Chains A and B, each alone.
Chain A
Amino acid sequence: MSEILTFMGMEDQYKKYELFFGPNHPGMHGNFSYIITVEGHTIMKIDPDAGLLHRGFEKLVEQRLWMQNISLIPRICVPEPDINEAIYSIAVEKLMGVQVPERAQYIRTIILEMARIGAFLFGFGGIGGATGLYTASYWTFADRDYLLDLFEWLTGARVYHMFILPGGVRRDIPDGWLEKLLETVDYLQKRLYEYDRLIYNNPLIVKRLEGLGRVTQEDAVKYGITGPNIRATGIKYDTRKAVPYAAYDKIDFEVPVQTAGDGLARAVQKREEFQVSLDIIKKAIHQLPKGSVRAKMPNPLKFRVPKGDVYVKLETAHGEHAYYIVSNGSEKPYRMAVRGGSFTAGLVYAQKALVGMRIEDVALWMATMDICPPDFDR
């Protein structure tokens, strides 16, 4: 019997082979890897292989004071770092029962939407890169620079802002910043039509994306797929609406949905949400109230958070990002767990979705699903 198995295995050895699709592949997003078993070009099996990106955030957080962590957590996610500061701050505020001033809520909304736009630009560039249309990534990265300039002006840093704090934000908006932001929003609005011409009305891209990795509504719910990806299947679920935070409950906006659930629907959904984000920023600027931007908080060196646990989720460009924080009443968090936006999609759903696709689809599928490996390999 064992001889037969060995013989069959030998047969199999020539038919199938394992491909390490990792950081060595230009299509991979970050330091993550899939071990793909292929037959010819067709994927038979996929094993997500995490660990290359692991930086031990969840344990590092336990070693630092509550306020010191603000400088650490944005690094969990590069394209949209601000979301981490916001979740952490909201979680701490919930545990402490702190009321954040309204102006700070609006500033947070503006920052989060700016970060969201930045992440969408990353995403557009990713789709361009995975389809060989490098102009898209050049454009989007250059346009993102304008947002980084504004971040630099407001927060003092370009990528990791460390600006949203428990209690509010670190500084008020500087003079002239809002005008410049409106200018940039108008500029991005104009550029959006250029992206349409370049990407979304481009028959080559549309043909390439159509039907790619179609997600059914049942699968989306079953696998906990969130963000623009679930909305691309036709389910209208948005954390900003479902569990409003910052000033989202005070700003009027409509969440768009697609129905097809395929790669094209996901790409178009992101493009539509880009438009919504621009509108939200404009409305937030228009409604921005006056007042203080930071509630009175205790000395950061003697900062204790009452005993308890809290789960806070926020909408990001790649899904629902959430923290589960446990405090034992001491100066440091007792435990913090991160649920990244693309956690289920990249780690679990990929094992189902990618089977049957071709090798060259992997990078593009990751781009349309907005798989961000730091979400699950922390």
Chain B
Amino acid sequence: MNYKKKSLLGPLSSLKYLFQDPITVRYPKEQKKTYPNHEGCSPQYRGQHTNDLEKCVGCSTCMDICPTGAIEMVEFTDVKDKSGATRKRPVIDYGRCCFCGFCVDVCTSSSLSMSREYIHTFITPHDAKPSDIGGMISDDFVRRPDSSFSENPGWNTPDEWSWLSLDRMVMGIIEPTKRKDSFVEMVRGYSKEEAVKEAQRCVACGLCKEACPIHMDIPEYIDAIWKDDIDESVRQIYKTNPLPEVCGRVCTHKCETACSIGLRGDPLAIRWLKRYAVDSLPLEKYKSVLLNNAIKPANKRVAVIGGGPAGLSAAFFLSLMGYKITIFEADEKVGGIMRYGIPAYRLPDSALDKDIDFIKSLGVEIKTNTRVGKEIEFNKIKSEYDAVILSTGFNLGRSTRIPGSQSKGVVQALDFLSDTRDFAAKKKKEVEITENILVIGGGNVAFDCSRSAARLQMMKYGKVNVTQICLETLDIIPADKEEVDESAEEGVVLICGRGPKQVMIDENGKVKGLDHMKCNSVFDENMNFNPKFNEEDKAVCEATMIIEAIGQAPDYSYISDDVKSKMKFERGKIVLDKNNETGAEKIYAAGDIVKGPDIVNAIADGLRSAIALDKNLNK
């Protein structure tokens, strides 16, 4: 460019702009023409917030990321209660907000967005005292975003642009073809790198804590895993959970259902992280890590009848409170449903034993092969001990009671699983199976049966022919989704929405199949179990062996009549009063016989009964 071409008249060229429209506009009188189809500001302008209060779960991630501390979570009464959510909603102080939109980019429920509204006016009331006006203005800046600006949407964050890590760290699982013929644990567990990466996804919202029956400090132990502090992580886990090796493998993980990351992507693998933490700490170190304070002896003895999850939980917590515990177990080893129900490919003995060994190391006495009512009288225990906790669980199989269900080829789930477990532990040489097995039921136990049966068939016959039939359709099936998927991978055929009508028997008295009909609905309008069938829609499923896995029943025959008469029963379960007492003196109850239906609830129940017992004995 030639800068020598100087001209004094050059600047006069600006005169031509005298009669042109100015570049800046007087909004809203005039409109900018920059943005197509949008008046005012740009289509993704970061203006005042919009929050879908119904969609918001109150996870407070927006508050945590806010760089200016403008967001506060406040509990509101006009917000509806829903599961996996709190009643807290963000309140924004626009005096601090810098409109960065980070809150929107990390919103787990995608409820928070920003609008194109940016004009904020405050009309000072005429009668306001000058000294009050400052306070009035700053109060006016604090607002709870709702849907009022939703018709003028601006910056919003679809999953694609979310800052959250939505994809779960893939868990190594033995391939279906390799796992089909063995009872080796199929889930490999996370390595350190994988666990740290998975833990990194957590936003520590604490919704999981609310959903967990034992309210585990999940964000805390995940944070410890992220910081590679296994000791602290196990310490946090053991605060409320005495069976973490078990829960780390087979828990029904209500926490993962509530996980706020799950609203946009895959929920955190909380269960596997727990497993990683406890797997990483050897049993020898447990005492030094967990038992920092000396236990003060209470000089009282408590008997626990039944060494299942509830009994072990109660024993653990009572031991920590200083009680001397004796567990009476009918079987050869404690563990209950965890040892004799859940198949070894989901929960190996070594993991269960680690949990139990730690509980034992607290001084808990375990009397195995001691069936109460047979080897020892109930009343004897009652008189010898200061208190008794009943935790015998649902140990009897429940039959469909359809015609033919008493035949020889029809077996109960718990008996079958117990035999399978013994087989896997090489205590038994063979489990009785046939080449064509049918399983009735749609819960996790039913899937345990069908998948165990498939493995046994594979080992014996080299092929799988297992059919599973259940009342529920896939959308309401009570089993975990992964059970449904993994069983299909292993060759189990699932027939949903069908109910059993009768077991077909051949002329030799052997099972030859199941006559089944369509199930129209499983629950009535009060959500009680009350299936309705369409008997005209019939079909036959051929099978030479049928496993009934439709639920279990309790056995109260060991309890003496005088005690039983003081207790209240409802639908086969013991009803506790508001103090978690049974009504009978010195007798407490926990586990499936009180609440159910899973291990983590049993642990919670064990803790509840331990607290009730301690309160009464220390009166």
On A, residues with C-beta under 8 Å from B are 64-65, 67-72, 133, 135, 139, 142-143, 145-146, 149-150, 152-153, 156-157, 160, 162, 170-171, 174, 176, 180, 194, 196-198, 200-204, 206, 268, 271-272, 294, 296-302
Contacts and interface: CB of A to CB of B under 8 A. Distances in A.
Contacts of A72: 67
B43 A143 contact: no
A174 B38 CA distance: 14
Contacts of A268: 3
Contacts of B35: 149, 153
Given A156-B114, A170-B105, A202-B10, A68 B67 contact: yes
A152 B14 contact: no
Interface in B157-214: 161, 163-165, 197, 199-204
A317 B154 CA distance: 31
Given A149-B34, A198-B10, A301 B106 contact: yes
Contacts of B199: 302
Nearest to B35: A153
B46 A156 contact: yes
A202 B4 CA distance: 10
Given A203-B8, A302-B199, A194 B14 contact: yes
Given A197-B10, A197-B11, A302-B200, A149 B163 contact: no
Nearest to B6: A203
B343 interface: no
B11 A153 contact: no
Interface in B5-54: 5-8, 10-11, 13-14, 22-24, 32, 34-36, 41-46
Contacts of A139: 14
Interface in B198-235: 199-204, 223, 226
Contacts of B36: 176
B519 to A, nearest CB: 43
B202 A201 contact: no
A150 B34 contact: yes
Given A153-B44, A156-B154, A170-B105, A299 B32 contact: no
Given A201-B7, A206-B3, A206-B6, A149 B203 contact: no
A151 to B, nearest CB: 9
Nearest to B154: A156
B106 A157 contact: no
Contacts of B7: 197, 201-203
Interface residues of B, number: 52
B1 interface: yes
A81 B35 CA distance: 23
17 contacts: A149-B34, A150-B34, A152-B42, A156-B45, A156-B46, A156-B155, A170-B161, A180-B34, A196-B1, A197-B11, A197-B13, A201-B7, A201-B10, A298-B200, A301-B106, A301-B203, A302-B202
B124 interface: no
A160 B98 contact: yes
A301 B100 contact: no
Nearest to B201: A299
B423 interface: no
B65 interface: yes
A294 B223 CA distance: 26
Contacts of B165: 296, 298-299
Given A206-B3, A299-B203, A301-B61, A142 B24 contact: yes
Nearest to B105: A170
Contacts of B598: none
A64 B44 contact: no
Contacts of A300: 65, 102, 106, 163
Given A153-B35, A156-B101, A300-B102, 10 more contacts: A68-B67, A70-B102, A71-B68, A135-B11, A174-B43, A201-B5, A201-B6, A299-B165, A299-B203, A302-B223
B200 A299 contact: yes
A268 B43 CA distance: 38
Contacts of A202: 6-8, 10-11
B11 A198 contact: yes
The 5 closest A-B pairs by CB, nearest first: A68-B67, A197-B10, A71-B100, A156-B46, A142-B23
Contact of B163 (A67, A176, A204, A271): A67
A139 B6 CA distance: 20
B349 interface: no
B435 interface: no
B43 A153 contact: yes
